[in-house]
Amino acid sequence: MRLLDGKKVSQDILDEITAAVALLPRAPRMAVVQVGDDPGSAAYIRNKIRAAGKTGIESEHVHLDGKISQSDLNTRMAELSASNLDGLMLQLPLPAHLNEGEALEYLDPDKDIDGFHPVNLGRLISGLDCYVPCTPAGIRELLKREEIPTSGRHVVIVGRSLIVGKTAALLLLEKSDLGNATVTVCHSASDDLAVHCRQADILIAAVGRAFLIKADMVKEGAIIIDVGMNSIEAPERRSGYRLVGDCDFDGIGDRAAAMTPVPGGVGPLTVAMLMSNALQAAKRYIGQEN
Ligand code: GUN
């Protein structure tokens, strides 16, 4: 089984971004908005801020109180969008009393470096130029750089989230060399999940359930992209926990042709693609400044 080293590929992408940033007349400026103290989100944000620093992108971590009202959050999103930032993103999930879709509508679509504003999603489904959501973009970039073709192949996606499943399906369906796949999207209410998964030439697991995908659900020679990031108890570790994906990595290793590890697979690619979108945003505004 070949290991798809997301860390290495993301470093290559970050090196390219660093070189492109150095050619700009000023540094790109981005912000990451966090609401509350979800520990998973805090870890993601740390990685994003660190990657920005390494690539020469100026970043700001805007940390809002977890009890903020919807209208105050909406106002903050609009204010930040109207500032001199090139791009910003709202880390998800939000605390349960807040509506993500509503808050995202207050983002300026031209600064929406996560690609979740309805305008960017509409442009994505229409095949128009747009900010592409970072995790699906990262998966596409990994497949491209690892020379794994998607054209004509059956991709089965487990998970229908906006962040991954739904938007990955749109990308892989695109009429292009990096799309052209036959796509099946499964989710928590799908009957016969194992039957669907066994059809997959490329299986993308993005459900957030540790070890849901077992070896007997995988076709011999399949490519496995594990987007899961689940924290499970590990008494032998000093921290008391460890991160695992949605796939039973050890069991699947004997059947799959190639597989992403967790951690070190898709996660770093998501971060790299956010930096790529921030660079794209800065180019848009610097173009207007000239
Ligand atoms: N939470 C987990 N992944 C992501 C992501 O790519 N973007 C946002 N905004 N929130 C996330």
Closest atom of ligand 1 to 92 CA is 10
Residues of the chain with CATH 3.40.50.720: 134-259
Do β-strands 230-233 and 241-244 pair in parallel, antiparallel, or remain unpaired? antiparallel
Average pLDDT over all residues of the chain? 96
Mean per-residue pLDDT for 209-215? 96
111 flagged as catalytic? no
Q: Give the pLDDT confidence score for residue 288 in this predicted structure.
A: 81
Instruction: Write the single-letter amino acid at 240.
Output: G
pLDDT in tens, 77-135: 999 999 999 999 999 999 999 999 999 999 999 999 999 999 999 999 999 999 999 99
Measure 91 CA to ligand 1 centroid, in angstroms: 5
Predicted confidence at residue 68, as pLDDT, reads 98
Active-site annotation holds for 114: yes
**The one catalytic residue among 114, 226, 246, 248:** 114
Residues 34-43: pLDDT tens digits? 999 988 899 8
Active site residue 37: no
Give ranges for CATH 3.40.50.10860 in the chain: 23-129+269-289
Residue 49 pLDDT > 70? yes
Quick one: average pLDDT of 240-259? Answer: 93
Q: Considering only CA atoms, which of 175, 191, 37 is closest in space to residue 183?
A: 175
Quick one: pLDDT at residue 290? 59
Question: How far, in Å, are 129, 184, 215, 276, 290 from residue 225 at the CA level?
Answer: 25, 15, 14, 21, 42
CATH code, 23-129+269-289: 3.40.50.10860
Residue 75 contacts residue 68 (beta carbons within 8 Å): no
Of ligand 1's atoms, which has the minimum distance to the CA of residue 133?
A: 6
Indicate which residue of 86, 91, 112, 226 is catalytic: 91
- Nearest-CA residue for ligand 1 atom 7 is 91
Structure confidence at residue 18 as a pLDDT band (50, 70, 90): very high
In terms of CATH, what superfamily is 134-259? Answer: NAD(P)-binding Rossmann-like Domain (3.40.50.720)
Bond prior to 235 in cis (omega within 30° of 0): no
User: Measuring from each residue's beta carbon to the nearest atom of ligand 1, which residues come in under 6 Å?
Assistant: 44, 89-92, 114, 134-135, 163, 270
